[in-house]
Structure 1
Amino acid sequence: VTRSRRSSGYFFGAGIVESSPRFRCLHQTRGGTETVAHYLTGWLEARSKILKPNTVRRYSDYVSKDLIPAFGKIRLERLSHAHILQFVSQQQAANRGPTTLRRCVICLSSALNEAVRTRWLPYNAARFVRLPRLPRKDLICWTNEEAGTFLRYCHEVNDLHADLYELMICTGMRKGEALGLCWADIHREQRLLFVRRNLIAVDNSRAEFSDPKTPYSRAWIALSQRSLSALRRQRARQYRQRLATRDYDDMGLVFCRPDGHPLRPQYALDHFRKLSEEAGVPRIRLHDLRHLAATIMISSGVPLGSVSKTLRHSTIATTVDIYGHLTPQVAQDAVDAAAAALDTRAA
């Protein structure tokens, strides 16, 4: 049951967004004079209670630096598809990056979806805006030989984070998942670890824990004997660090600074690239170790379903979409096996 949105804007439904005092105020603005600026400000305030910190920070930048300057003075009910098309054209003319532009329009569309859901608007003006197609990036990762060279070098110089990189290659964990891993999440007897949280960089000087990237990311990962050996070495290294540090703050983290505090994600990346240069292997991102893990599994003949489960993708289609360039040989092997079976039967 709803009352007229022009008269009062009261709506049933105890969602998080509707429960925000500022958001409720938006629907009580008289005469339909609500501006886009006022609406977006209230929407962001309400969404900040349930979104991840990095998402809130990114949305805040889009709202304050792009959307409000472009649409802020327009009455919400008069915001049209043409307004948004003009904005996209202007951004493209200014050579705005396609990824940033896409995210900016998605932010606006998300806000307008909320207005449609609560019957404040009849339609979402940003829903069907055509955006430039993003160029598909080729995945870059090391060969098996380069990965072996890197790991050998790390252990030869007894680097403090050698086993962090080894565990990422062995399991395909994301950087933030590995940095947020706790000893309590590891079950050596069952040879499993559980991904329960993610360490993210909120800004250049601060990091904090959040939920894993997706609901499917919160799952278990099987551990190989090599992974268990890396964890045992890290446990012994951490014990020595604790003895050598007067003010050790035990946060239960598997990989941390010598004082027990979390490693900053940017530091982990910078250190990784420094080691890569010293080892004489190509420069890649730390996240590319996840791609390396997938490449090794697929090229070794591991079924795509098992690879998808290990990487904790929502569907096997996601795995194929990302690593499709690695699957032609797998597909060829499959049809060859079917043909061989028919030939054997015929013989």
Structure 2
Amino acid sequence: MPSLDGRRKTKRRGGFVSKTEAQTALGTVLEYERTGIVTDDKQTVAAYLTDWLRDKSLALKPTTAALYRDYVTKDLIPGLGTVRLDALNHHHVMMFIGDQLDRGRGKTTLRRCVATLSSALTDAVRQRRLPHNPARYAVVPRPPKYEPACWSPIEAARFLRYCHNQDDPLADLFEVVIGTGLRKGEALALHWDDISLTDHVAFIRYTLTNVNNTKPVLTAPKTKSSRAWIGLSDRVVAALRNQLIRQPGREFVFSRRDGKPLRPEYVLHHFHQLAATAGLPKTRVHDLRHFAATTMLNSNVPLAVISRAMRHSNLATTTDVYGHLLRHVAHDAADVIANALDTADAARRVEGDHTAIT
């Protein structure tokens, strides 16, 4: 086999039960050498994933790295770790998936776990350590699609009135989230330095997330397009001015008494308590973002404008998430076609009448 010093080294392996099996193994090694694949037939999936996770974590957000670490150490290594990397195949992956489903593993979590494995194996292919990705075509049952339980404008206004009547300390936070469509973490990471109340704008520079649901950290927003300026309505500006009076001299717009940002799980639990006490349907804080988008859609705001306001990566994302709500767009499109045909018919009749007269 080739080596860094230019000298070919002999690779010896034994333990084969027959000459045919040994010749098959030799053929595989020679084929790998011919196609430029460098493999270690002693490396296990566990050893590879451990090395991959160490290197991959350098380029990941802390929260993503923590999720990958859980999937690798708690699921993938216990389930597939003893298999040699170069022997791993589609059947192994499907057996792992079946075993996880039999144990009652959630479909969403399982899909993310297998996606982590596929990402690791794709890197192995790119590094010429595997000829193909055994997890690429693995079939994982899709979980039921989540349908946001959006409040109506009447319900949202009722919730905000209740918060203000109770003089709740998070009333202004919910005004900002509902009035801008910000993600929860983006609202909690707002700094006063990134807001201009005079110009009615704010720059979304960070998002606040929890690593392992315990350690809050500031990271970049969800996507590149999420890091952008947003407009602020008079109502939102009024809420921010009120918050500035409530908590003056703070770095974060919304913070605890010690100046540190609010914990996301506290905001979620407090929101659920307020909604229940106000007699409103249960929903998620993130669904307030969906409320903002659907309210704009129902007011016939152009989809491109909504996409920009929600800071989606592209227009397709907005269509995928909210396309089922675009009934008025379908009607408008059909009406445009009908109006064009009616106009053409009317013009033809006028032309015919003119010809008859002459």
Fold agreement, TM-score > 0.5: yes
- One-letter amino acid of the counterpart of residue 304, structure 2: G
1:216 corresponds to = 225
Aligned-residue offset at 1:156: 1.2
Aligned-residue offset at 1:346: 4.6
Query: Cα deviation per residue 1:158-204 (whole Å; 9 max; x = unaligned)?
Result: 11111111111111100000000101111234322111111001134
Single out whichever of 273-282 and 303-312 deviates more from structure 2.
273-282
Q: 1:302 to 1:41 in 2, by over 3 A?
A: same
Distance in structure 1 (CA, Å) of the matches to 2:46 and 2:53: 11
Distance in structure 1 (CA, Å) of the matches to 2:144 and 2:277: 32
Distance in structure 1 (CA, Å) of the matches to 2:287 and 2:102: 33
1:320 corresponds to = 319
Distance in structure 2 (CA, Å) of the matches to 1:103 and 1:194: 31
Give the alignment's TM-score, normalised by structure 2: 0.83
RMSD between superposed Cα atoms in Å: 2.0
- One-letter amino acid of the counterpart of residue 103, structure 1: R
2:265 corresponds to = 266
- One-letter amino acid of the counterpart of residue 322, structure 1: V
2:123 corresponds to = 114
- One-letter amino acid of the counterpart of residue 318, structure 2: T
Q: Secondary structure at the match of 1:121?
A: coil
- 2:167 aligned with 1:168: no
Q: Secondary structure at the match of 1:49?
A: helix
1:16 corresponds to = none
Aligned-residue offset at 1:206: 2.3
2:242 corresponds to = 233
Q: How does 1:107-256 map to 2 (within 5 A)?
A: 107-239=116-248, 250=250, 252-256=251-255
Query: Cα deviation per residue 1:245-296 (whole Å; 9 max; x = unaligned)?
Result: xxxxx4x111111331110000011111111122221111111100110111
2:300 corresponds to = 301
Q: Secondary structure at the match of 2:93?
A: helix
- One-letter amino acid of the counterpart of residue 305, structure 1: A
Distance in structure 1 (CA, Å) of the matches to 2:130 and 2:92: 16
Q: Secondary structure at the match of 2:322?
A: helix
Larger CA Rg, structure 1 vs 2:
2
Single out whichever of 180-189 and 165-174 deviates more from structure 2.
180-189
Q: Matched residue pairs, number?
A: 314
Single out whichever of 328-337 and 123-132 deviates more from structure 2.
328-337
Distance in structure 2 (CA, Å) of the matches to 1:204 and 1:130: 30
Whether contact under 8 Å (2:39, 2:129) holds in the other structure is: no
1:257 corresponds to = 256
- 2:38 aligned with 1:38: no
Distance in structure 1 (CA, Å) of the matches to 2:288 and 2:320: 18
Q: 1:214 to 1:3 in 2, by over 3 A?
A: farther
Whether contact under 8 Å (2:108, 2:142) holds in the other structure is: no
Give the alignment's TM-score, normalised by structure 1: 0.85
- One-letter amino acid of the counterpart of residue 68, structure 1: I
Single out whichever of 34-43 and 53-62 deviates more from structure 2.
53-62
Aligned-residue offset at 1:136: 1.2
Distance in structure 1 (CA, Å) of the matches to 2:189 and 2:300: 30
Q: How does 1:52-63 map to 2 (within 5 A)?
A: 52-63=61-72
Distance in structure 2 (CA, Å) of the matches to 1:78 and 1:89: 19
Q: Secondary structure at the match of 1:48?
A: helix
Identity of aligned residues (%): 51
Which of these residues, 99, 103, 112, is aligned with residue 108 of structure 2? Answer: 99
- One-letter amino acid of the counterpart of residue 300, structure 1: S
Q: Which runs of 5+ in 2 are unaligned?
A: 10-37, 347-358
Q: Secondary structure at the match of 1:122?
A: coil
Q: 1:148 to 1:30 in 2, by over 3 A?
A: closer
Q: Which runs of 5+ in 1 are unaligned?
A: 8-28, 243-249
Whether contact under 8 Å (2:225, 2:312) holds in the other structure is: yes
